Amino acid sequence: MSNLYSQEIIEESVLRTENVDVYYGSHKAVAGVNLEIPKHNAIAFIGPSGCGKSTILRCFNRMNDLVASAKIHGKITFRGKNIYSNNIDPVKLRTSIGMVFQKPNPFPKSIYENIAWGARINGYKGNMNDLVEQSLKKAALWDEVKDKLRQSGLALSGGQQQRLCIARTIAIQPEVILMDEPCSALDPISTLKVEESIHELKRNYTIIIVTHNMQQASRVSDYTAFFNAKSIEGGSGKLGYLVEYDRTENIFQNPVEQATQEYVSGRFG
């Protein structure tokens, strides 16, 4: 079980994990993850089901706090501060590290209020109309909805709803945006629009995306982390771990580990 990441990753790190283990009750779900997430890049987490991709992703903004049995060992730092310290407010943390979920979940409000609501409750004092417009533009949705901002967000198509959720996340002005399989429920055209949004967003944000789509990972990410899982001897369940982490072109064209090569070439099993 190796935790490899390239020495080329020397850009400014915004997030770092050090020997992170994740437990659900007495079951260790993920072991020994070491990662550095460079600023203003897109990072893809790939690997088979049950290998810990989403579990690690949810550690970055403490969404696992909502699971009573979850425990985190090791250290995760954001801007050099341990995010699991007692003096860190997880609700405030999530304004800096936003999240887009697998299934679009717009609020039952107007398109405008979907964007404005979170910013308003977080004390935004600027021009709200400008914030709504800019957030929708960054999510590649403005041209499609600019004439129907007072209509319900629930009336949009699935792909538009997902981009609305991205815009809603942008509006709270985070530094990092986590995406947990954001395109798994979308058609190819909607998927392409979300991917276009990711390319635009990483100019100003750090993006971490969990995806089962190898082509998507190769298209949108600058770095890729490959996770795998192994059966636990004498017990039930699987243990997830980080196999290899490097620039995306190296992971897909010249990986170090045989398991990585087998996975990205479709021979994994």
Q: Judge whether residue 107 has pLDDT over 50.
A: yes
Provide the pairing of β-strand 176-180 with 97-100.
parallel
Is 0.85 surpassed by the pTM of this model? yes
Using alpha carbons only, what angle is made at residue 112 by residues 108 and 117, rounded to the nearest 5 degrees? Answer: 70
Residue 161: count other Cβ atoms within 10 Å of its Cβ.
Answer: 23
Residue 73: count other Cβ atoms within 10 Å of its Cβ.
Answer: 13
Length reported for the chain: 269
pLDDT tens across 76-98, in order? 999 999 999 999 999 999 999 99
Which CATH number belongs to the domain containing residue 67 in this structure?
A: 3.40.50.300
- Does residue 232 belong to any structural domain of this protein? yes
Q: Judge whether residue 3 has pLDDT over 50.
A: no
pLDDT tens across 37-46, in order? 999 999 999 9
- Does residue 61 belong to any structural domain of this protein? yes
pLDDT tens across 209-261, in order? 999 999 999 999 999 999 999 987 666 678 999 999 999 999 999 999 999 99
Average pLDDT over the chain, rounded to an integer: 91
- DSSP assigned state of 61: T
Using only C-alpha atoms, what is the Rg of the chain? Answer: 19
pLDDT tens across 145-156, in order? 999 999 999 999
Query: Which helix (H) or strand (E) element contains residue 24?
Result: strand 13-24
Structure confidence at residue 7 as a pLDDT band (50, 70, 90):
very low
- Does residue 74 belong to any structural domain of this protein? yes
Q: Is 260 helix (H, G, I), strand (E, B) or coil?
A: helix
Those residues with Cβ within 8 angstroms of residue 157's Cβ, 6 or more apart along the chain or in another chain: 190
Enclosing domain of residue 177: 4-264
Among the listed residues 208, 242, 245, 173, the one whose alpha carbon sits nearest the alpha carbon of residue 60: 208
Give me the number of domains the chain comprises.
Answer: 1
- Does residue 269 belong to any structural domain of this protein? no
- Does residue 88 belong to any structural domain of this protein? yes
